[in-house]
């Protein structure tokens, strides 16, 4: 019987074809999609790629409003025009399935990969009875061949868990978003979801903590001796009277200060554990300032090229089933890791230091030993981070010297501490360690001369805002979302204009949504509701619960949430409108009907200006993106639109809102010249086209009717 192997992406399909067929595999093309054929004695094996999900959730029927409780899988290209590119891949699977009787899901071995491949087998191939699963953690030829030679049954429980997640996420997202939008009654689309809500609540609560934080003064007392700062053993003193008394006691007895004890002991610091996805995202953010979504995307690329193992893992363990000694040997052939790897080989250090976290599907992230080629700068950096972390976990403990010196000044005690690295051990391999030495000079017991006494007044600091990487780690700690979805959930909150900034701040709009739900429909933002469903989906994957039971449970919880929402819908809408009106940035008056021109956000997260009288007035103007916009109170004498001040990229400038205003003539000329230079010989043609477009735009400058602000 002919076989069809389903890969998740084209690059992986190619690697599977090469691994299984070598030079005998042939490349075929259908509708622009490449697939591969391996001729065997009495059959053929086809390897074809998907491009992620070929199927997506779709509402049954065309019912508007909410609640909507009936959904089904449908080809992605039929559901959204933006996903029409998936049709040609659908067609390839449809054609190849007619030739085959055995089907193998070789998509990533996680819930999403299981759903992608199983849906193709279910709805296109109709071959569940003759379906198998390939399981691999790297895309190296040896691992792919081993997975093919040791096929597993379909991981059907993983599919049921994944399908349940897709159904419940879709139902909660569409129903809650429609409910919010209908409450506001402005045409502005709002969104909230099963995990988005609790995530927004975490950030909003932190925002409230910061806002309500009342700084408390405290005092720190110190003395200087031999250039070393000794801190008062009391630490932070919150009573000014006690601080003054301690300072006076020190001042009176400064000439009688003595070193009472000197303690120095050796300590050992174990290597860091190998990376799981969350720790990789945190470290890449700390070291390189990388966005967690970017880190995952780069790691996925490295995996698809067989340079590292599968990155979507929760494990910090490297089982002995992995050829660790061989990998270290291969890394020794890379000049960048030659010295470190050879030390490990010479000392026969092949047992890794591991962390506590586990993942049944995949081990910790590790390099495969294959020499990377053609990496860009950031890919090289992330590969180096992963590889050095891997090698370092085999290294010897670092040896430190910890010093503690106790000084007595009258009845007051002062302490100085120091750290010296005696033996770097694994630190010499993992160069991204941020441990700083604090080396103390020689001290001996007895009298000591104090050169200075100081007392500083400090204030307690509010809790820190989350960075994106910190928030993802917090979601993992609270068991909200999955390792594969957490970064995307946070990205969605940014796109919806609920949050902003590197140190994440909840926008006034985000606080409006949170406050309304907190007051009137708290269940929607409850961690408990979401965590309960997360645990139930884990139970499905482990075979402890039925899919139908959990879906029904999720629907009932949703209906309870909607019932609570509807009961308070008028109040929710009123409060949101009032709050949004107070927080709107008014840039000036609309030249068409005199309404306020306010800053709005599109579905994609872009900002623009539109009339507050929408939908009666549909005036719309573009705004510079990723910039601070401030109204000036001035109006352009030519186009009569407000003039704004723009702060962007270290530059500050003023501009009116009409992109076709005569004042933009010099801007257009500059853009034409710059683009002409970029196009080389086509410069004249580009400039001619630009002039024609500018001329046409000026003729139409009085037409200020824009697109629907909800676009």
Quote the CA–CA distance of 154 and 298 in Å, as a whole number: 29
Could you give the angle at the alpha carbon of 231 between the alpha carbons of 225 and 236, nearest 5°? 160
Closest CA to 7 of 36, 49, 37, 45: 49
Query: Chain centroid to CA 309: how far?
Result: 19
Quote the CA–CA distance of 299 and 82 in Å, as a whole number: 26
Written as one string, the DSSP assignment of 114-178 is HHHHHHHIIIII--GGGEEE---SS--HHHHHHHHHT-EE--HHHHHHHHHHHHHHHHHHHHHHH
Within a 10 A sphere around the Cβ of 447, how many other Cβ atoms?
10
Closest CA to 529 of 504, 499, 505, 562: 562
Q: Which two tokens stand for residue 275?
A: 């990376």
Closest CA to 130 of 156, 104, 97: 104
Quote the CA–CA distance of 619 and 632 in Å, as a whole number: 20
Question: Which member of 35, 77, 310, 383 is catalytic?
Answer: 310
Closest CA to 19 of 5, 34, 33: 5
Query: Which residue has tokens 């081993």?
Result: 146
Could you give the angle at the alpha carbon of 40 between the alpha carbons of 36 and 46, nearest 5°? 25
Q: Give the Å distances, CA to CA, from 596 to 187, 610, 612.
A: 17, 8, 5
Quote the CA–CA distance of 237 and 222 in Å, as a whole number: 12
Q: Answer for the pair 393, 272: CB distance below 8 angstroms, yes or no.
A: yes
Quote the CA–CA distance of 38 and 292 in Å, as a whole number: 39
Quote the CA–CA distance of 483 and 472 in Å, as a whole number: 9
SS3 percent helix, strand, coil of the chain, rounded to 5, is 45, 20, 35
Q: Which two tokens stand for residue 499?
A: 């949050």
- Counting Cβ atoms within 10 Å, is residue 663 exposed (0-12), middle (13-18) or buried (19+)? middle
Quote the CA–CA distance of 134 and 148 in Å, as a whole number: 6
- Counting Cβ atoms within 10 Å, is residue 105 exposed (0-12), middle (13-18) or buried (19+)? buried
In the residue annotation, 621 being an active-site residue is answered as no
Q: Answer for the pair 483, 494: CB distance below 8 angstroms, yes or no.
A: no
- Counting Cβ atoms within 10 Å, is residue 502 exposed (0-12), middle (13-18) or buried (19+)? exposed
Q: Answer for the pair 54, 30: CB distance below 8 angstroms, yes or no.
A: no
Query: Starting at the edge strand that comes first in sequence, how are the strands of the sheet with 3-7 ordered?
Result: 26-30, 33-39, 44-49, 3-7, 102-105, 131-133, 152-153
Residues identified as active-site: 310
């Amino acid at each position: 019987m002919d076989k069809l192997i389903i890969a998740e992406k084209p690059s992986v399909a190619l690697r599977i074809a090469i691994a299984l067929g070598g030079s005998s595999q042939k490349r075929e093309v259908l509708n622009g999609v490449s697939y591969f054929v391996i001729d065997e004695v009495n059959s053929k094996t086809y390897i074809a790629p998907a491009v992620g999900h070929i199927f997506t959730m779709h509402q049954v029927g065309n019912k508007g409003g909410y609640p909507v409780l009936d959904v089904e899988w449908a080809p992605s290209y039929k559901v959204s025009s933006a996903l029409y590119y998936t049709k040609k891949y659908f067609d390839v699977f449809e054609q190849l399935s007619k030739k085959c009787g055995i089907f193998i899901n070789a998509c990533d071995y996680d819930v999403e990969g299981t759903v992608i491949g199983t849906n193709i087998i279910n709805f296109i191939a109709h071959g569940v009875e003759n379906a198998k699963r390939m399981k691999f953690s790297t895309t190296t030829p040896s691992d792919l061949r081993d997975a093919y030679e040791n096929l597993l049954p379909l991981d059907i429980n993983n599919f049921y868990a994944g399908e349940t997640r897709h159904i419940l996420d879709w139902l909660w997202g569409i129903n809650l978003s429609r409910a919010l939008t209908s409450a506001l009654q402005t045409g502005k689309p709002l969104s909230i979801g099963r995990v988005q809500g609790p995530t927004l609540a975490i950030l909003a609560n932190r925002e409230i903590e910061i806002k309500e934080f009342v700084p408390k003064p405290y005092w720190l007392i110190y003395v200087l001796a031999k250039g070393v700062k000794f801190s008062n053993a009391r630490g932070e003193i919150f009573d000014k009277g006690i601080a003054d008394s301690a300072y006076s006691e020190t001042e009176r007895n400064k000439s009688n200060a003595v070193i009472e004890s000197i303690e120095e002991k050796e300590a050992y610091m174990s290597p860091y554990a190998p990376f799981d996805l969350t720790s990789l995202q945190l470290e890449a953010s700390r070291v390189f300032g990388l966005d967690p979504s970017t880190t995952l995307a780069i790691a996925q690329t490295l995996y698809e090229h067989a340079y590292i193992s599968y990155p979507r893992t929760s494990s910090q363990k490297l089982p002995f089933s992995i050829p660790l000694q061989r990998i270290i040997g291969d890394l020794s052939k890379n000049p960048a890791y030659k010295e470190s790897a050879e030390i490990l080989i010479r000392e026969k250090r092949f047992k890794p230091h591991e962390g506590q976290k586990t993942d049944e599907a995949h081990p910790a992230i590790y390099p495969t030993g294959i020499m990377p080629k053609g990496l860009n700068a950031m890919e090289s950096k992330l590969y180096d981070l992963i590889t050095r972390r891997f090698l370092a976990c085999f290294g010897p403990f670092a040896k430190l010297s910890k010093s503690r010196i106790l000084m007595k000044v009258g009845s007051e005690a002062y302490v100085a501490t120091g750290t010296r690295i005696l033996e770097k051990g694994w630190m010499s391999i993992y160069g991204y360690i941020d441990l700083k030495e604090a080396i103390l000079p020689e001290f001996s017991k007895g009298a000591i001369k104090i050169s200075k006494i100081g007392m500083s007044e400090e204030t307690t600091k509010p809790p820190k805002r989350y960075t994106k990487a910190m928030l993802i780690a917090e979601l993992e700690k609270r068991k909200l979302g999955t390792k594969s979805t957490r970064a995307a959930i946070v990205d969605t909150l940014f796109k919806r204009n609920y949050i902003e900034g590197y140190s994440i701040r909840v926008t006034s709009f985000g606080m409006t949504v949170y406050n309304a739900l907190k007051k009137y429909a708290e269940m929607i933002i409850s961690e408990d509701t979401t965590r309960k469903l997360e645990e139930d989906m884990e139970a499905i994957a482990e075979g402890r619960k039925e899919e139908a039971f959990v879906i029904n449970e999720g629907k009932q919880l949703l209906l309870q949430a909607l019932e609570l929402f509807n009961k308070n819908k008028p109040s929710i809408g009123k409060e949101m409108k009032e709050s949004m009106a107070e927080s709107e940035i008014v840039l000036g008056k609309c030249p068409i009907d005199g309404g306020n021109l306010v800053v709005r956000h599109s579905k994609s997260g872009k900002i623009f200006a539109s009339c507050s009288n929408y939908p009666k007035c549909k005036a719309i103007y573009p705004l510079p993106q990723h910039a601070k916009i401030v109204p000036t109170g001035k109006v352009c004498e030519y186009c009569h639109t407000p003039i704004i001040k723009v702060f962007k990229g270290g530059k500050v400038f003023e501009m009116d809102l009409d992109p076709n205003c005569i004042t933009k003539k010099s801007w257009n000329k500059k853009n034409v010249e710059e683009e002409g230079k970029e196009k080389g010989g086509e410069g004249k043609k580009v400039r001619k086209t630009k002039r024609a477009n500018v001329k046409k735009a000026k003729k139409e400058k009085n037409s200020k009717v824009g697109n629907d602000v909800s676009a």
